[in-house]
Amino acid sequence: MASSLIDLCTLISTSVAAVDARCKALSATYPDLDNPLNSEKSESLILDSEIANETAVALAAASQLIASMQYPSRTILDASYGFIISTALGVVTESSTAEIIREAGPHGCHINDIAKKNGMDPLKIGELPRCVATSRTDMTSQPEFYAPLATQHIFREVSPNVFAHNRVSALIDTGKSFEAIQAAPEDKYAGAEGRAAGILLNTDETMKAAAYIGDVVLDKVWEASDDELNTPLNRAFGTHVDLFSWYEKPENKKRFKRFGFAMDVSQRFSPPGAILQGFKWSTLPDKALIVDVGGGIGSISLEIAQANPHLRFLIQDKQAVLHEGAGALGDQDTWCIGCRKGCLSENMTFFGPQSVKNADIFFLRFILHNWSDAYSLKILKHLRDAAQNTTKLIVVEHLLPLVCGEDETYKHIPGAVPDSLPPKPLLPNFGIVNMSPYFVDIQMMALLRGCERTFPHYWDLLMKAGWEIEEVHRPLGSLVTQIVAKPI
């Protein structure tokens, strides 16, 4: 065991030294955790390929070192208290505390002054940021009674009851004034700089639904049902409609609008231009038609279109979503085809026949993970029925990594198996560095009846629907893959 601990320490120190050397070579300084206003040059360092690779090794090794050396009872107890962090983040974000703290300046804001603005109990305000800013490590006679909250490095307590932003907490800030938010709370996330909408998607409906996962999956009758509406969300909110119909209910107007912005923000978690890496959009012929099935407000298609003006795009989604898109992206009729001025696309239903018969590309981004295999097959089969022999299917999803390493059976397919493995003794899937797909997997279980899938799972699913995977692209620095398939 001592040897593996030393190996992990060596990986950390070697990787950190490599990052430092690369920063010096670029005449830059790695972003400072305590500074919410690092320079653009500094923050862009994390996108450098060499720094990103070395950082992944250091983070994976550091996490594995903690797991190896920490009391197992504390590890399992801390994991069970994860919802505390989610709750704290949700309240801080919803109450616009992040905006109040930013407006107070770099020296921070006292909880009493925060309370004067947002009307919360000052003691509750103090408990929430402190919960995610500093840990209480008072030790009782037994290790399993360690205080449950580990240091999270979100916010800084600069003096007693005075909180300021750091590089992490600044991401919660919408960049808007507290007064502007109070005047138009429904527009809080429109054009927001931060990730507040995504945080609240996770800490509101997702967390509330996730609390019922155990009730659902342990109920044999409920779980065995083929009803797609037997979900934790349905049980949590006492409804029997799908997530998207639930969002359209009048009482969920705020959540629905926030969800659209959260989906738009989600693309920021990948490096800029990640969708342009991998599949060569530029090689498509002039006026090739890309049908963005379930394309939401159209932000991804717009990104592709701006880099490839020779292509045509048609975005298909539910009418309510398209309406939100028209407001979010404005008049984009110069790049969207088949629609009138001010309209982004055409109304559609996933489970009916596909109306477009001349598509060069059917594009599905984070659609299949919303649905069970049975419903995903319906979507894929309708696309196959409408496809020409030359039509390609591009599925953009997380590929759920196998913790033990990828199945070599599919190594003949370009990109199906990663080119290299992390150095030993790290986990083959890079451990905590690649946790996002697993989080989303459980989120899909909570909100819908969907899931993230491994490559073998996608291979079987697509084959059943009449599609054969040709290649997989893994854009550098992104956990999102592009699966390219052809009609069988």
| CB proximity list for 172: less than 8 A, separation 6 or greater | 89, 92, 93, 98, 194, 195, 196, 199
Q: Count the helix, strand and coil residues of the chain and give each as a percent rounded to the nearest 5.
A: 50, 10, 40
- Residues 205 and 186: their CA atoms lie apart, in Å, by 17
Token pair, residue 462, equals 């697509």
Token pair, residue 454, equals 């491994």
CA 59 to chain centre: 19
Give the neighbor-by-neighbor strand order of the sheet with 392-398: 345-347, 312-317, 289-293, 361-365, 392-398, 480-487, 467-473
**Would you call 369 a catalytic residue per the annotation?**
yes
- Residues 313 and 335: their CA atoms lie apart, in Å, by 7
Angle among Cα 310, 313, 319 to the nearest 5 degrees reads 160
For residue 416, give the 3-state DSSP assignment: coil
**Host H or E run for residue 162:** strand 162-164
Angle among Cα 82, 84, 89 to the nearest 5 degrees reads 105
Token pair, residue 373, equals 């295999």
Q: State the catalytic residue, choosing from 165, 369, 398, 473.
A: 369
Give the neighbor-by-neighbor strand order of the sheet with 162-164: 109-110, 162-164, 156-159
- Residues 124 and 337: their CA atoms lie apart, in Å, by 52
Token pair, residue 317, equals 């989604």
Q: Measure Cα distances from 220 to 70, 224, 284 in Å.
A: 37, 6, 49
* b/e sequence 79-99, b meaning 16+ C-beta within 10 Å: eeeeeebbebbbbbbebbbbb
Q: Are strands 345-347 and 480-487 parallel, antiparallel or unpaired?
A: unpaired
**Catalytic sites, residue numbers:** 369
